[in-house]
Structure 1
Amino acid sequence: MTTFRKIAALAVAAVMTISMGACGNTGSSAADTQDLVVARSLETTDMLPQTGFSNGDIWAIQQVYQTLTRNKTDGSGVEPGLATSWKQSKDGLSWTFNLRRGVKFHNGRTMTAKDVKFSLDFARTARDDKPWQFLFTAIRNVEIVDDYTVRLDLNEPWAPLPSDLSMSASSIMPADFGGKTETEFRNNPVGTGPYKLGEWKKGDYIKFVRNPDYWETGKPKLNSVTFKYVSDANTRSQMVQSGQAQIDEFPTAVSVSSLKKTRNVHVESFPSTSLIWVNLNNRRKPLNDVHVRRAMAYAIDKEAIVRAIYYGQAEKANSMLSKNLMGYSKDVKDLEYDMAKAKEELAKSSAPKHFSLTVQVQSGDPEKSMLAQILQESWKELGIDVQLQTLDSTTVYSNRTAGDFDVAMFEMTNDISDPDEWMQYMFSSSANVNSGYRNEKVDALIKRAAADSNQANRLKDYAEVQQIIADEAPEIPLVYKPGLFAVRDQVKDFTVTTLGEYKLADTTIARE
């Protein structure tokens, strides 16, 4: 309990810091100009949809680009986007999509089937810097039927296809990058979304301005949206309290009580697929030993984490699949906290006595910092020497992609309504960019589930995968979190989907 008393003391200090930082309101000018500022925890580093990787990229990309299908707000499925309808062939080997007419790109060109073919062909062409290419491996060919109809021919039946096409990597771009080189287009993107790129100062902010030719009549209502990169959670809270920003993305749980007491500020809690987990590099010894990983999982007291760090505003996770996503199984038996079992597992391992590892921690994130300290103390009881390395979020994410880490912690949401993305991305040998985990049975189950149109069969396969992952602990789920946002009262109709996407086309700013 000593560790958790220390963490509680840190939490109190964080509250005091946030409270002391509150200052006067400067938000009224935002209502005059309809310019929204969102203080974000992750930087936008890449605006090319097929290579953009983190939520810092994806949620920015979704303001500029659109996809054939789009996620419903509650994450229960997809609805028409740039395609108005679609139909699967009887043999399941092709899908025909009817395109929306009269949609213009930001450069004034009208979107046609030629643009759809170019975009999907580019997305499915394998390249090392395309982390989402695995979503398109089932597509054999993209055929232009006419200017407003495309047919996707498949190598095999693929049940998740309509959901896969809602992913940001499926965004529709103008053919041939609108006459630009790929590099030029990456830095000056052109899409069909409600906002277009205004200004991008990398490492600081990215600003989007209203698209006057947007196809949804009367939208968007804001003149501009600025995603301001602020890695420090306390600073983000201070910005929304003072009116420098209208929205604070992901305030810490410990700051919520202070924010709720701030004049003209309220805290929104949206249902979410957010999961915080411990990322173990299975490529490195001794983390490639299942007994070592199981020992480390048994040593983590998740209930204490929920109390000490999240003040009950999170829920202990039993599975690496979010509970708000189709396919989640409540029956998965997790490796619950048991230090005796942890020591038994370690005794069976290739490193039974002592080893060292480094946990990479994102700077400016007090919750991750406290989590890292809990892991350090918990694993110390097993004789593991844990060093904490604080890095900026961009470096932590790039290290994950490169496999240059021992242990790290991440918070992610699913990007589509089907579990296939998460299953492939996290655990498939062909697509895994997180842990390096390899399991032929898991690969076969994931592939079979994606090819099966029978929902009951798919759910059964996904439940089995979840249990295997829980047993072998290639990664360790910690908590499920709601989508928390500190929002100034003047912001109206701000909505975030269960999958984390910002719905800003209807948002407005009123006078305070």
Structure 2
Amino acid sequence: MFHHLKLTVAALALSAGTAMAAQDSITIGMTLEPPNLDPTGGAAAAIDEVVYANLFEGLTRFGSDGAVLPALASSWEVSEDGLTYTFTLQSGVKFHDGTDMTAEDVVFSLDRARAEDSTNAQKALFAGITAVEAMDDTTVKVTLSAPDGSFPFKMAWGDAVIVAPESIESAATAPVGTGPFKFSKWVQGDMVELTRNDAYWGEAPALATAQFKFISDPNAAFAALMAGDVDAFPNFPAPETLAQFEANPMFNVIVGSTEGETILSMNNKSPKLADPMVRKAISHAINRQDIIDGAMFGYGTPIGSHFAPHHPDYVDLTGQSAFDPEMAKSLLAEADVSDLSLRLALPPPSYARRGGEIIAAQLRDVGIETEITNLEWAQWLEQVFKGKDFDLTIVSHTEPADINIYARPEYYFQYDNAEFQAMIEELNLATDPAKRTEINKAAQQKIADDYVNGYLFQLAKTGVANAKINGLWENSPTQANDITGVSWSD
């Protein structure tokens, strides 16, 4: 820790001066550089982290709490049979190159995303569309093959932003959108700069310029914040140093939640885990707080089902799989299981490697042995995710609202339940928000009742920012550094 301390003392004098200089610009730290800047043609989270809501906009967008809000569409109507969505667009919207954004651009964007040769990383979002028609300049009619209550949610993803035929060819390196910020420059290996779009159709942002600076090394990230070279690091890579920032009044430590349900996945088709009583025993053998403390330096929110705690439909079911080693032992006895030995496959992230060691010790305490194998991502994807050759694994599922994966029997943990599949079918068809909430809650309860997996914690979003910055997202309902509402206080 000594090299950190030296930096701290030297940096304190500097940062007061640098922060004061430019109150309408911000430098945001990111650990990964995006491979390109076209969210409609790449899967890397770092693309959205720069451009989502800042540079590109969709028909709808995610708010900081995960709610689906109007964006380029000011409103929409759903037909009685649920098959047609009619979007009314904001009028007078221009792309950054000065061309008009009309219904024709929406037709172009959605048709391009769902085309056979589409390179969109989330092609499934558009699979239900059968036709997109421009009724007039500000009205678009989208026809679906089956009712889909989550269609406005799908249109809020970064992969569904509206682009123009005139500029899409250069989107990877010189993106043109409709957002409150426009592309200024990209210095490869260092940073991307955005500047305020003075012709923006909506509310003007407070910031005039924003730089997204790429710093992958945790020590360098710490130093950059301390020196004031970076004003905020929304996904700070060194949780072990957060205590130093918490003790420093010049910084705010912003701890929120992500879409990452971190789970001890169990292969439900493995002969050793097919009995729900054994899975229940494993769930009660786990001390979530020990894992959060030991693997995540205390950052993370305990979960009892596959659902994000910041979502309005969340149900806290942690009590149903509370840490109770005595109950775990008696469940194993009741299931007539002794000398159980399971294979635990761990991918590279520290939550998995550190968490795996802790879980192995907890399982040993109730009489279950584990054989740990550390895998690289490529091996993990091949063996566990595709090959389903495992008993237990630990992984964080970071897609938003993804409880529907439990309706896919071929998915890697191989849960096959007709009742649950019917629930998700019903959820897909439901357009009434109250009905969707009711089904979401029932779905959480069902997989908790069946002890499909060991539910550990929601991956924390740990950010550090200059204390004078307001409006950064606390949670991550999608992969974004939305700076549209960010400002400095005096």
TM-score range, shorter chain: 0.7 to 0.9
Q: 2:167 aligns with which of 158, 173, 178?
A: 178
Q: Name the residue aligned to 2:486.
A: 507
- 1:446-501 alpha-carbon deviations (Å, 9 max, x no partner): 12022123444433332332233224455432124664321113434434466254
Does the C-alpha gap of structure 1 residues 402 and 356 become closer, same or farther in structure 2, counting only changes over 3 Å?
closer
Letter in 2 for 1:92: G
Letter in 2 for 1:245: V
Instruction: Note if 1:465 corresponds to 2:451.
Output: no
Instruction: Note if 1:442 corresponds to 2:420.
Output: yes
Q: Name the residue aligned to 2:55.
A: 64
CA distance, structure 2, for counterparts of residue 399 and residue 491 of structure 1: 45
Matches within 5 A, 1:180-259: 180=169, 185-200=171-186, 204-212=189-197, 213-216=199-202, 218-219=204-205, 221-230=207-216, 232=218, 234-251=219-236, 254-259=240-245
Does the C-alpha gap of structure 1 residues 128 and 321 become closer, same or farther in structure 2, counting only changes over 3 Å?
farther
Deviation at 1:197, TM superposition (A): 3.9
Matches within 5 A, 1:379-394: 379-380=363-364, 382-389=368-375
Matches within 5 A, 1:117-128: 117-125=107-115
Matches within 5 A, 1:47-196: 47-50=37-40, 52-53=42-43, 55-62=45-52, 63-75=54-66, 77-125=67-115, 130=120, 132-175=122-165, 178=167, 180=169, 185-196=171-182
Contact 2:60 2:155 in 1 (8 A): yes
- 1:274-304 alpha-carbon deviations (Å, 9 max, x no partner): 4441263749967974667555434321133
Matches within 5 A, 1:269-288: 269-270=255-256, 272=257, 274-278=259-263, 280=265, 282=267
CA distance, structure 1, for counterparts of residue 342 and residue 209 of structure 2: 55
Does the C-alpha gap of structure 1 residues 480 and 389 become closer, same or farther in structure 2, counting only changes over 3 Å?
same
Q: Name the residue aligned to 1:417.
A: none
If the length of structure 1 is used for normalisation, what is the TM-score? 0.77
Contact 2:254 2:464 in 1 (8 A): yes
- 1:352-380 alpha-carbon deviations (Å, 9 max, x no partner): 64343430122xx5x55532431343345
Letter in 2 for 1:423: I
**Identity over the aligned pairs, expressed in percent?**
20
Letter in 2 for 1:256: L
Q: 2:288 aligns with which of 278, 302, 308?
A: 302
Deviation at 1:207, TM superposition (A): 0.8
Deviation at 1:80, TM superposition (A): 2.4
Q: Name the residue aligned to 1:7.
A: none
Q: 1:377 aligns with which of 351, 354, 361?
A: 361
Letter in 1 for 2:430: D
Contact 2:83 2:147 in 1 (8 A): yes
Contact 1:380 1:386 in 2 (8 A): no
CA distance, structure 2, for counterparts of residue 345 and residue 187 of structure 1: 57
Matches within 5 A, 1:15-54: 19=5, 21-22=7-8, 23-25=10-12, 26-27=14-15, 28-29=17-18, 32=21, 34-45=24-35, 47-50=37-40, 52-53=42-43
Does the C-alpha gap of structure 1 residues 209 and 457 become closer, same or farther in structure 2, counting only changes over 3 Å?
closer
Q: Name the residue aligned to 1:267.
A: 253
CA distance, structure 2, for counterparts of residue 346 and residue 130 of structure 1: 50
CA distance, structure 2, for counterparts of residue 214 and residue 108 of structure 1: 11
CA distance, structure 1, for counterparts of residue 333 and residue 114 of structure 2: 42
Moved more, 397-406 or 134-143: 397-406
Q: For this pair of structures, how many residues does the alignment match?
A: 476
Letter in 1 for 2:341: H
Letter in 2 for 1:335: S
Contact 1:206 1:227 in 2 (8 A): yes
Contact 1:281 1:287 in 2 (8 A): no
User: What RMSD in Å do the two structures reach over aligned CA positions?
Assistant: 4.0
Q: Name the residue aligned to 1:4.
A: none
Contact 2:396 2:459 in 1 (8 A): no
Q: Secondary structure at the match of 1:24?
A: helix
Deviation at 1:268, TM superposition (A): 2.8
